[in-house]
Chains A and B, each alone.
Chain A
Amino acid sequence: MANIFGLDALTTLALAGARTTRIELGTFVVPTFPRHPFAMAQQALTVQGACGNRLALGIGLSHLVTMQDRLGFDWDHPIRHMREYLSVLNPLLAQEPATFEGQEFRVSGAQLGVPGSAAPPVLVRVYSRARGPGHHGYRAAGGPPGPAHRRVITGLRHHQRR
C-alpha cells in the first residue's frame, strides 16, 4: 500500500489486518524523515499485533522536493540519515535495547515491549548510482523475504518501465 499524501499506510493496514487472517500486508515507501525510528518501530510493532505478524515494512527517504522543500527536513546527508535510521530502527523492531550516537540520531537505552509482535521484514528503497538515474529498488534490511517483497520489487520494476 502506498503512503504518500493520502492515507497513513500503517494505520490502514492495521485495520485491514484485523479484517483478514492470512494475506501478507506490505507498505511501499513509508518516509523516514517525518518519523523518528522509535515512532516507526512502535507503529510497525502495533500493526504486527493487529495483523498477527503479517506486515512487510517498506521504508525510504522519499524525495528531496518533498522532504526538504515542502516539509523542511535537512537533505544534506540522505545516505547517512538512512544508515543511522536503520541502526536505531532494527534493534527497536527486535524489541532489544537501542543505543546509538550518530549525527542524525542519538538514542540511549531505548526499547519497546510489544508482547506477541515479531519484528517485520524491512524493505528499504534504494537508488543505484551504478545503474544510472531512475534505477531504484528495494533491499531487504531484515527478516525473511515474503510475498510482499516480490510484489513491491515487481511493482517497482513495472514502474521503471513506464
Chain B
Amino acid sequence: MRLGLFPLPTDATRVQDVIADAEQAEQLGLDSF
C-alpha cells in the first residue's frame, strides 16, 4: 500500500487489496481514492 503517493493512490493488484486500501484511505481521512 502506498496511499497518498502519486500518480496512483494504490498499487494493489488484487480486488480485496484495493478494497482494503480504499477503506484505509477513508479511515485516514483522505477525501478521494
Contact = CB atoms under 8 A, between A and B. Distances in A.
A15 B7 contact: no
Given A12-B18, A16-B22, A23 B30 contact: yes
A2 B10 CA distance: 9
A26 interface: yes
B7 A158 contact: yes
B5 to A, nearest CB: 9
- State the majority secondary structure of interface residues on B: loop
Interface size class of A (residues with CB under 8 A): 20 to 34
Contacts of A15: 15, 19
Interface size class of B (residues with CB under 8 A): 10 to 19
Contact of A23 (B7, B15, B18, B32): B32
A147 interface: yes
A85 B15 CA distance: 29
Contacts of B33: 1, 16, 20, 23-26, 148
A151 interface: yes
A154 B32 CA distance: 12
A146 interface: yes
A1 B8 contact: yes
A67 interface: no
Interface string B9-30: 1100111001100110110001
